[in-house]
Chain A
Amino acid sequence: MHTDSRNFLRVQNARVRARRTGIFLGVVLLATVLNGCEMPVDKAAEPEAVGGPALLRRLTESQYRASIADIFSPDVPVVARFEKQLRSEGLIAVGTGEAGMSPFSVEQYDNAALGVAETILSEDRRADFVPCTPEDEQTFDASCAAEFIQRYGPVLFRRPLSDEQKVRYLEVARLGAAELGGFYQGLQYALVGMMTAPQFLLRIEQVQTEKNADGEAKEIQRLDAWSMATRLSYFLTNSTPDAELLRAAAAGELDSADGLARQVDRLIASPAFEAAVRAFFRDMLEFDLFEDLAKDAAIYPAYNSTVAADAQEQTLLDIVELLVEQKGDYRDLFTLSETHLTRALGIIYQQPVAPRKGWQKTQLSYQGDRVGIQSHISFVALHAHPGRSSPSLRGAALRKVFLCQEVPDPPADVDFSAVQDASSEQMPTARHRLAVHNSQPACAGCHKIMDPVGLGLENYDGLGTFRSQENNVRIDASGSLDGIDYENPEGLGQALHDHPETARCAVEKLYRFAVGRDTVWYERDYMDYLINTFASSGYQFPELMRTIALSKNFYAIAEAPESQNHIQMAGVTDPERNPL
């Protein structure tokens, strides 16, 4: 009990400290300073697990599609329109733990289920999927139906079916067969039932209650084997647990460090691992925003849906090559001098691309005026206006996406009218125009955080094409990122590479992505452990994912003493959540 109350006090004090820190740190930059005051910890070993709440998470669209492809076959079409996904704390993965289920989404899941079931049980395909043949197609065959339900129920629900569930879906199959005059029609609706069940659409995490010597439930619990397998699988493959992982869960192998390590290493070595890395970076880089991205066709005629798709793929190809194939240093993403291009992208990058179709590995720029993924179309076009660039949007996004630093919203009553006349002769470049804007004290505070960084990307227009001049005046792309000065886009890439928050932010976001919630203050020792391990591996990303997947904290469950546990790492608070 003493330990309990001490822990409790520790948490409370931490919360008070965090709140106070939040008051003084409305502006994010000081976060860097805080990193200097770490407590001495054993850097090699994982600190005692503190855990977080068990979650109820919706499958993301890509997880849903991948799960169907893995359970049935990649060529089974999923016909549904998925709604825009909720982003919370900078990640859709965190939004999955908060998003509701509107009538629209259930309607769409239902459509998808009907379509999949129709394909699976169609005359052409049923032999591939039904593990038995009924006595008579016109009548109900209970044992074959039970076999079918047993074949797909547990993989869809990611745990064994209860007896009630088995009976329920068997009854549906019986009713369907009777009313619709065919055994396979019955199976079709049993499958629709399983695919619209909450156990499939939601990851409902369950806890395995462990007791201490006195027979009381321990303060820190652990997910049960099935929920562990599910967390692990969606984290390392962005899809549902495969047969081997479900087998290991059933056999209790995930309880032992060796058994868990065998599965983790197997999944990391599997081809599906790349999908997980892609899923994380799609989420981190906010590629869902491309759905709403509009570019003015008169100003940027080269922009179209092919460019939008290729631009995302370009960045992901570079990321996968460096991080997964070459096992390179994460920070080198910001100084990469090579890339992959298609012809459609070549037009915008002003680079020749030989193959008519497909990708070519090439220099990102032959003049050395472009390095790193932050200079890609997928970043500079995404964070710009429809008809021009925006140093402020790019600066704010660069800090938020790569450094986990929040920039507050602009005050509601700003007068911009004197400022943004892009054709003005007195103010030919964005730097000139923003200098005027920053003479207003209410604006200057935040623009000092955003603009110097964004101005380092001003050599790329609103779509991403290189330019050395704006309105016939040379663009000055020099600037400073939290004390690191640079002269050009290459220097900005290096500054981002060398920034102490770069690696820390990746760790934080990856962990939030993995667990589907924000990190909490009392996980700071664990976060330090992850960051130190990441550093000592030479910032190898798959190593970091492995460390998380093997850690006890990843599976540890502690109900939060209060629901408001949104205090972020490094004392950075979201001013919108905490107006104080």
Chain B
Amino acid sequence: MKAITRRGFLRGTMQGAVVGVALPLLNCLLDENGKAYADTGQRLPVRFGTWIWGCGFIPELWIPEQTGNDYQLHGHMAPLQPYRDKLAIFSGFDVKLDGVPNKPHVTGCLGLRTGVPVPDYNVKAPTLDILISDQIADTRFSSIEVSTSGVQRSYSYRDAGSVNPSEVSPLALYRRIFGEGFQDPNAMDFQPDPRYMVHKSVLSATQEERRQLMNSVGAEDRARLDEYFTSIRELEQKLALQLQPPAPVENFVMPDEPPQTSLDSEMENVMENHRLMAGLLARALQCNQTRVFNVLFSDTASTLRRAGHSDTHHTLTHEEPVDPALGHQREVAWFAEKSMIAWREFLDALTAIPEGDGVLLDNCLVLAHSDCSIAKSHAVEGIPAMVAGNAGGRIRTGFHMAGKADPISRIGLTVQQAMGLQVDRWGVLSMETNRTITDLLA
């Protein structure tokens, strides 16, 4: 059979001929390890994501007593027992401030994600999800951000003026991914839509003025214009993907359109929105719509509320008295535990999808973290963090490591390395590190 080139393929298509028949991916097409396609040797993609919850933890109910492999999950971590071996738990790693004022709930979160503590939202370096997506994204969306508590916020920053905004509604998320422009990877016949080709050439034409425009503005604006042109380029690539038959995906089932839900910060609504969005995200990862995601379960200054109560999780951390019998804040503990249950449910969603000889989670690396350790004092020392999944065999899990006040940038550095980035040093001043967490790398 004559080889089909992309160009020839497109030409054929544009003349109206029906080309391209994609077959569902069958297990028999995979090699014995289930890690790669048997005929091409192409590996299953490794995905990266972050999962943020706000207002830290109650240390005595979270930190495992033992370090190393023989650790026990207790207290608020008990719900995660099914994932004990697929989690690496990090306690005692610090954001080092180096005298930078600690903006409550912001400096810790962005410090962890950029390696550079800042006194406000003006990040001085991209967040690590951007570094990773720049390296690995070859999908329809370079990344997908969701926020499940009704708050339009995101901690995915290319620079201070450029945030990747979060989807707050499951329905909007569904329509963006699975609505117009989505191609069922296992559809029996593939017919590229010539509109995509014309649309793509329109965007390519826009690039023609790039150089002239870039020369007409100052340095700072040049960076912003550059971002515009890069985003346009990304859209072109997305359209180019639409012109090729999608790679078949085993076990893919088109998700149902979710109902309209209440988008507020009341806990039960948040849990429901989170479940829906986690399910959609898992399906999107499965069929290669994106390889990078960021989930904001609750904002870092958490607005979560119990129905009928006036105080938010965040205000309670400051204002609720410590229950003398318990030794901690009773209401705050409720939110802290719910946050870990939500994290378990997120891992459930990634586990529900079989992939190769395992599940989707095995081919993910998810970094879960908060913005502070003890929210009452906004402490950025010992921010709780976890890594879940096995990144297609690139990382090892099933241990608890005490950071002993090491810079938390060690986690960010190692995660980047696990995702294949050539980086040997990350962060600035006291946050600068070249110390890989070797326990995590397989």
Residues of chain A having any CB pair with chain B under 8 Å: 53-56, 81, 83-84, 86, 95, 98-107, 110, 114, 164-165, 168-169, 171-172, 175-176, 179-180, 185, 189-190, 192-193, 196-198, 201-202, 204, 206, 291-292, 294, 296-299, 385-388, 409-410, 412-422, 462, 559, 563, 576, 579
Contact = CB atoms under 8 A, between A and B. Distances in A.
B231 A410 contact: no
Given A179-B198, A197-B206, A291-B152, A102 B319 contact: no
Interface string B216-231: 1110110111011101
B161 A98 contact: yes
A296 B142 contact: no
B43 interface: no
B383 to A, nearest CB: 13
B205 A171 contact: yes
| 3 smallest beta-carbon distances between A and B, as pairs | A387-B310, A100-B162, A298-B308
B151 interface: yes
Interface stretch (B63-71, B98-106, B250-258): B98-106
A551 to B, nearest CB: 23
B165 A104 contact: yes
B120 A168 contact: no
Q: Interface size class for chain B?
A: 35 or more
Contacts of B145: 104
6 contacts: A179-B14, A193-B203, A292-B151, A386-B305, A387-B310, A417-B321
Contacts of A386: 265, 303, 305, 310-312
A95 B160 CA distance: 11
B234 interface: yes
Interface stretch (B241-249, B373-381, B390-398): B373-381
Contacts of B165: 83-84, 102, 104-105
Given A102-B158, A412-B104, A417-B322, A206 B198 contact: no
Interface in B301-327: 303, 305, 307-312, 315, 318-322
B404 interface: no
A576 B103 CA distance: 9
Given A102-B164, A419-B319, A168 B228 contact: no
Contacts of B307: 297-298
A417 B303 CA distance: 18
B425 interface: no
A288 B348 CA distance: 36
B194 interface: yes
Given A81-B172, A180-B198, A198-B228, A56 B217 contact: yes
Interface string B254-270: 00000000001100000
A382 B319 CA distance: 21
B134 to A, nearest CB: 11
Interface of B: 14, 100-104, 119-120, 141-142, 145, 150-153, 158-165, 172, 194-195, 197-199, 201-203, 205-206, 208-209, 213, 216-218, 220-221, 223-225, 227-229, 231-232, 234-235, 264-265, 303, 305, 307-312, 315, 318-322, 376-379
Contacts of B218: 53-54, 559
Nearest to B377: A413
A579 B101 contact: yes
Contacts of A197: 206, 209
Contacts of B217: 54, 56, 204
Contacts of B310: 296, 299, 385-388, 422, 462
Contacts of B377: 412-415
Contacts of A296: 305, 308-310
A86 B161 contact: yes
B264 A100 contact: no
Contacts of A559: 218
Given A103-B231, A165-B209, A421-B319, 12 more contacts: A101-B227, A102-B164, A172-B205, A189-B202, A198-B228, A206-B216, A292-B151, A297-B308, A409-B103, A412-B104, A412-B378, A413-B379
Nearest to A574: B120
A387 B311 contact: yes
A334 to B, nearest CB: 29
B321 A294 contact: no
A106 B235 CA distance: 8
B309 A387 contact: yes
B231 A168 contact: no
Contacts of A168: 205, 208
Most chain B CB inside 10 Å of its own CB: which residue of A110, A165, A168, A419: A110
Contacts of B224: 56, 98-101
A201 B203 CA distance: 14
A193 B206 contact: yes
Contacts of A165: 209
Most chain A CB inside 10 Å of its own CB: which residue of B158, B161, B172: B161
A193 B205 contact: yes
B12 to A, nearest CB: 13
Contacts of B194: 179-180
Given A299-B310, A420-B318, A409 B303 contact: no
B161 A100 contact: yes
Contacts of B153: 84
Given A100-B224, A101-B227, A103-B231, A421 B162 contact: no
Nearest to B223: A100
A103 B142 contact: yes
Contacts of B14: 179
B225 A198 contact: yes
Nearest to B229: A198
A417 B202 contact: no
B169 to A, nearest CB: 9
Most chain B CB inside 10 Å of its own CB: which residue of A103, A175, A197, A201: A103
A165 B206 CA distance: 9
Contacts of B101: 409, 412, 576, 579
Most chain B CB inside 10 Å of its own CB: which residue of A101, A102, A409: A102
A179 B193 CA distance: 10
A424 B238 CA distance: 59
Nearest to A165: B209
A203 to B, nearest CB: 11
Contact of A418 (B203, B221, B265, B321): B321
B164 A576 contact: no
